[in-house]
Copies of this chain bind each other. A is one copy, B any other.
Amino acid sequence: MKIPVMEVFGPTIQGEGMVMGQKTMFVRTAGCDYSCAWCDSSFTWDGTGKSVSKQPQEIIEELRQIGGESFSHVTISGGNPALHKGIGELVDLCHQNGWKVAVETQGSMWQEWLRNIDDITISPKPPSSGMKTDFGKLDFFMENLADANASLKVVIFDEEDFKYAEDVHLRYPMVPFFLQTGNSDTVTTDDARLVQDLLERYEWLIDISVNSTIMNDAKVLPQLHTLVWGNKRGV
């Protein structure tokens, strides 16, 4: 079953969440059922980017061609990769090649292949995104991933987002929980200023997390790739 692919790139490092720093290839799929106000990959769903439908085996060959022998980990990101049933076959093929697979999805659409993912990040979206979380669906997600290597990650722009994150963490207390700095300017090319802004936001996020007893076992992280490469794509 074909998968609409926006870009295949790497190897580079995973700049976010539970496998931060991991050397990995990226496969970015097209399409999202959300439209977050601050989406940093809106080109996957707003019509400004172009996708090509590819068979899983074609994607495997592209990964090999681009990454050579220099990787053993593949991250499937989006958009929302969980829109695409065909990813199940891609995951199986990656595993046959000895590669581990990571996925990030907001937890709005279930796919059976999610059970086979090595590192799953579920990233429900806080109020500043303009989206509304269907907690019934998220409960279903977290129940089905109870035995998986899954984590929750919430991007934080303001105090209301932080309150939302506390609620999510309290709802699923056993799931490893990550807080992440938001990027408020996903188009600027003034990297020095962006880095300064991101580090200030990160310091603010550390401050409020440190003062919240609810967040005692949370991990508080920035986006490493944005610190290193700004808003550049494909790195």
Contact = CB atoms under 8 A, between A and B. Distances in A.
Interface of A: 10-13, 19-23, 69-73, 178, 192, 195-196, 199, 202-203, 206, 209-213, 215-222, 224, 227-229
Copies of this protein, total: 2
The winner among A69, A178, A210 for most chain B CB atoms within 10 A is A210
Contacts of A212: 70
Contacts of A219: 13, 19-23
Contacts of A23: 209-210, 215-220
A199 B227 contact: yes
18 contacts: A10-B210, A13-B220, A20-B20, A20-B21, A21-B178, A21-B220, A23-B210, A23-B215, A23-B219, A70-B211, A70-B212, A70-B213, A73-B216, A73-B217, A192-B196, A199-B228, A221-B224, A227-B227
Contact of A213 (B69, B209, B224): B69
Contacts of A192: 192, 196
